[in-house]
Amino acid sequence: MQTSLIKTITIVGGGTAGWMTAALLSKLLLGRFQITLIESEDIGTIGVGEATIPAIKVFNQLLDLDEVAFLKATQGTFKLGIEFVNWRDKGHSYIHGFGKIGVDLMWLHTHQFWLKMFPKGGAKDFDHYALNTLAARRNRFNIRRPDDSPPMSDMDYAYHFDASLYARHLRGLSERRGVRRIEGRITQVVLRPDTGYIDTVVLESGQTVGGDLFIDCSGMRGLLIGEALGVGYEDWNHWLLNDRAYAVPCAHGRLEGDISGSLTPYTRSTAQASGWQWRIPLQHRIGNGHVYSSAYLSDDEAATTLLRNLDGQALADPRQVRFRPGKRLRAFEKNCVAIGLSGGFLEPLESTSIHLIQTGILRLLALFPGSSFDARDIAEYNAQTDFEYRDVRDFIIAHYKVTDREDTPYWAYLKHMEIPDSLAQRIDLFRSSARFFKHSATELFHEESWVQVLLGQGLDMRYDPMVDMIPEDQVAAYLRDIEEVINEYADGMPTHADFIARYCKAPPL
């Protein structure tokens, strides 16, 4: 038995989530559906998701976005990874880089041999064994070419960009592809009395807008999924203590007009007494924020800490965002799908906010409903969403749990707290033999990510016993060869600032 197609899609809320949704649906649904987006300019957007992970390139390619034009339009820069400062202990830093680490020897990965040799003085810091991390340390960047060989072909990258400019860029694409935008604030959501499905939304002006499928991009408020349909929220604050953030842009720290030193090809996350501070370099400014726990730090102290640690002059007053770490019990309910913050919030420690928007949209396309809104499709959508949020949650929790810090009540709690069984099992396996196995093909973070973070955070782990099959002098030579080749390639790259100036320099705003 066949089900008929729905005809109309109504997106409630703009910002990054709304316009990413509108842009991709209008492109991939071939103009067969009437897509309407409702937003109010009076309602601000959070706009802190300026750092991304490499999967954003796939999203942009699906939209046929030209990379140079996109970077110019969004004041974008490149990102090779994230530097974590003071997380393991004060004064310590490491980089979680994208791309491949070293090269395998037999079936064993580079970190296994490093674990044997580093304590003996037979290896350098782990950052020297991946091109992404060493290039980041030296503020260098280049794009791989199709004919490149390792290690250049093993590099990967993402972007830093102004999220509000990205939304504006996608709005233009969407409207050219037929998306209708309605300006206005929604004052009422009308449900169908027989099914409880959303029938219409009513604007402050009195205008009513209907739809077959409604997509809630209204942010943490969850106007449709939460307030109208009553879907509850699973709170993860007992593991993820942070519930507030201040965000502020600042000027580059310029030295005689040169910003090359501050235009780093990586995001920086610096652990503070009761949270952490992000630094995201764009072409026209630096994005900064302090994510913290209100149970351990006052708002005034949080704002003061943020402003004290800026590269240059603050370009606005700090703006506070309050949030609840966790997720909706169901992201797809009746004829409504929650995309973005309406479906859940995980702090932007690993730059996953925009990625979770992207996967929510792609999941909707893969399980796109017919007019009957089959419960089996909805259940599968919710199951996949649940797995994804819990997977990312565990990776973020690991940054807090695995640490030598307990110098403040905040860090002492995190170091000794109970953690989800799924994370505890993964950490225990790393302690045993530094081994990693994916539990699902849909897990976001690969072995390279877990290895860099757990090593960087100081997890005490043994190497795979099979490493001892290879003579120690051969292992030392193997690691030395990797380090020398990666050093040569990193030195041969232009600086990040020079690459941007040549490739995608944005006009002044």
Hey, which residues are catalytic here?
Answer: 79
Say how far apart CA 326 and CA 236 lie, in whole Å. 5
Task: Look up residue 199 and give its amino acid.
Answer: D
| Cis preceding-peptide flag for 151 (omega within 30 of 0) | yes
Q: Is 286 helix (H, G, I), strand (E, B) or coil?
A: strand
Contact 286, 210 (CB under 8 A): no
Task: Tell me the longest C-alpha to C-alpha distance in the chain.
Answer: 78
How many CB atoms neighbour CB 92 within 10 A?
Answer: 17
CA triple 245-342-305, angle to 5 deg:
5
- Closest C-alpha among 352, 356, 445 to residue 21: 356
- Closest C-alpha among 257, 259, 277, 255 to residue 268: 277
Say how far apart CA 36 and CA 203 lie, in whole Å. 14
Contact 158, 353 (CB under 8 A): no
Q: Is 429 helix (H, G, I), strand (E, B) or coil?
A: helix
Say how far apart CA 179 and CA 217 lie, in whole Å. 15
Q: Is 104 helix (H, G, I), strand (E, B) or coil?
A: coil
Angle between helices 375-401 and 421-433 (to 10 degrees): 50
